[in-house]
Structure 1
Amino acid sequence: MIINFHGLGAVPAHVDSGEAKAWCADPVLYADLLDETREAAAAHGLDHLITFDDGNRSDLDIGLKPLADRGISAIFFPCAGRIGEAGYLDASALRELVAAGQRIGSHGWSHTDWRRASPAVMRQEVGEARDRIEQAAGVAVTTVAIPFGCYDRRVLRDAAVFDTVFTSDAALADAGARVQPRFSYTTDWQQGAVSHTVGDAGKVFRRAKKKLAMTVKRLR
């Protein structure tokens, strides 16, 4: 069970209306959802993981302490082209996350749709982005979260340098699988949202339907 966040606290000016729908403005709710994730995973006999996309500065300023207080290690996926820009994590912040026991992955370079990207753009989104994030964070980057969760056979092939690929398929993940679907927070989530979402996702018919949809994406 993988729960993904995009930003925390007051929505900053650099966030557009689309991203704002995935921004958790209430830090108390965020902390409650961390507790709920752990409890729901235990209730359903699942492992759990927290991730963060985009590399917003709030990942460190608001996101880290509740994780540390609970002994949770998350994966943070910054966009390489945003590192050091106002409102985003810089190299020092990335290294602070690493020093706190957190993990760093890649969210590409410029948050573009990889299914529509040219080969030249993909070289920057995959290889150059990974190199820059590794240099900034001081650790090897072996995981990637695909921007917008959009992928197909070509995207997965181009991302072959990564051991694990995270998507936004809103399904339970299979342990050890290379492609890992996630549930992403949206502004309609309240207390109880994780328990309800995971319980619904565990239903046999829904899980089979999601697996079929993911298989189609991998083959198209």
Structure 2
Amino acid sequence: MNYQRKRILLYSVLAGLFTILLLLVSIGLNSSGYPLQGSSPTPALIPHQVDAQIVESPSQALVEVYPLVEDKPALSVELTPAPPLLEEPKLPEPSSVTLNTYVPLPAPPTASAVKGAVQSTTRPTPLPSKISIPVLNYHSVTIDPGNVVVISPAKLAEQLAYLHDHGYTPVSLATFISLIEGEDVEAAPEKPVLLTFDDGYIDNYEQAMPLLAKYAFPATLFISPGMNNQEGYLNWEQIKKLQEAGWDIQPHGMTHPHLPRLSADQQAFEILEARKQIEEKLGTKADVYCYPYGEYNKTTLKLLKDHGFRYAFTIEQGNATNQQSPYLLKRHFINGEEGLKSFIRKLSTRD
């Protein structure tokens, strides 16, 4: 290659390099936001800061928005305020109401207690005062050492004498009910006591009846008619004579069963048949019950209530009061092996 051609080739290379350099410079200036004069605007590919828009948020903070400069109009970003926090639900206050089966709680203040309200002329009925009466629970009256259910005639005579000498008045079942219900009883005794005998043993007729007759003391006898005429138990003729002597006769189950072991129908028969036979044989009301073995359950209590029994006696120890359930009246078991001091302590009990 001759010298002339070499010079032309060199100039061509230099011209190309210069052109490339100019292009690089032009691109660099446009990308920095300073376009060359006469050049067409080239879209910027990176964001640049514009006047910040203030958007209120829940915290009132200032937020700067940076739109992208492209071939589309700048987009502004709006922050949606967060929804208000829900209030935590308030739980109801625990009730202060308490249950008391037999003594109702005093009623809350009425509108008449509010200042300026019209005052009512009706006065609230006061709660009844507590009435407490010892009920003594006897069984057999004979001599049987070591048997706590049996009391000797001599000990029974001693106890009856103590009642007479110390101002106690044995009352009939009707008088007991009137007293426990707070009714006005003419010449109500100062120290009433109810004498009860369970099961209907023949010695109640042979031994107890003459001892009580000495003081004209009444008593209440709970019998199981299905056991009448059996050995050691009363018959209807003897029961009638006890009634004539001032004894009240009431049901103790037809056959002296364990009531909770029976079905509802079986319990109903035991309770109602005993009442039916007593009322038919003696012509008196028999609506006070005594639980055989002192046992009962919810079915027993419901049957008594549904069939109109007024009261029922348990073997739970203590005085009978007007604040007990009418179907759960307490009594004092008379232990034939105990002495007179124990008997006196039971009379002094104040439930």
The answer to whether the superposition gives a TM-score over 0.5 is yes
User: For 1:73-92, what aligned pairs fall within 5 Å after superposition?
Assistant: 73-92=218-237
1:27 aligns with 2:144: no
Aligned twin of 1:149: 294
SS at match of 1:60: helix
Counterpart residue type for residue 96 of structure 1: K
1:52 is matched with which residue: 197, 200, 206? 197
Q: How far did residue 58 of structure 1 move?
A: 0.7
User: For 1:166-185, what aligned pairs fall within 5 Å after superposition?
Assistant: 166-175=313-322, 178=326, 179-185=328-334
SS at match of 1:30: helix
Q: How far did residue 85 of structure 1 move?
A: 1.5
* Cα distance between partner residues in 2 of 1:41 and 1:157: 35
1:67 is matched with which residue: 200, 212, 219? 212
1:118 aligns with 2:263: yes
CA contact (8 A) 1:5 1:185 kept: yes
Counterpart residue type for residue 343 of structure 2: V
User: For 1:99-118, what aligned pairs fall within 5 Å after superposition?
Assistant: 99-118=244-263
The percentage of aligned residue pairs carrying the same residue is 23
Measured against aligned partners, the alpha-carbon deviations of 1:159-200 in whole angstroms (never above 9, x if no partner) come to: 22321211111111115862321111123321222212233x
* Cα distance between partner residues in 1 of 2:295 and 2:191: 26
* Cα distance between partner residues in 2 of 1:37 and 1:174: 20
Which structure is higher in RCO with an 8 Å CA cutoff and minimum separation 6? 1
Aligned twin of 2:337: 188
TM-score by length of 2: 0.51
| CA distance 1:37–1:115, change in 2 (3 Å) | farther
Measured against aligned partners, the alpha-carbon deviations of 1:97-122 in whole angstroms (never above 9, x if no partner) come to: 11112110011112122222211221
Q: How far did residue 40 of structure 1 move?
A: 7.5
| CA distance 1:116–1:40, change in 2 (3 Å) | farther
1:158 is matched with which residue: 303, 314, 320? 303
CA contact (8 A) 2:256 2:292 kept: yes
| CA distance 1:185–1:151, change in 2 (3 Å) | same
* Cα distance between partner residues in 1 of 2:193 and 2:331: 10
SS at match of 1:183: strand
Measured against aligned partners, the alpha-carbon deviations of 1:28-65 in whole angstroms (never above 9, x if no partner) come to: 101111233453857xx542010000000011111111
Counterpart residue type for residue 195 of structure 1: I
Residue segments in structure 1 that go unaligned for 5+ positions in a row: 12-16, 208-220
Q: How far did residue 158 of structure 1 move?
A: 1.4
Residue segments in structure 2 that go unaligned for 5+ positions in a row: 1-133, 170-189
Aligned twin of 2:346: 197
CA contact (8 A) 1:53 1:78 kept: yes
Measured against aligned partners, the alpha-carbon deviations of 1:81-138 in whole angstroms (never above 9, x if no partner) come to: 1012121111101110111121100111121222222112212211111112223334
* Cα distance between partner residues in 2 of 1:153 and 1:88: 30
SS at match of 2:251: coil
Aligned twin of 2:275: 130
Q: How far did residue 68 of structure 1 move?
A: 1.4
TM superposition outliers: structure 1 runs of 4+ over 6 Å = none
Measured against aligned partners, the alpha-carbon deviations of 1:190-216 in whole angstroms (never above 9, x if no partner) come to: 1222212233x32xxxx4xxxxxxxxx
Aligned twin of 2:138: 5
* Cα distance between partner residues in 2 of 1:35 and 1:28: 11
Counterpart residue type for residue 300 of structure 2: V
TM-score by length of 1: 0.79
Q: CA RMSD in A?
A: 2.2
| CA distance 1:118–1:136, change in 2 (3 Å) | same
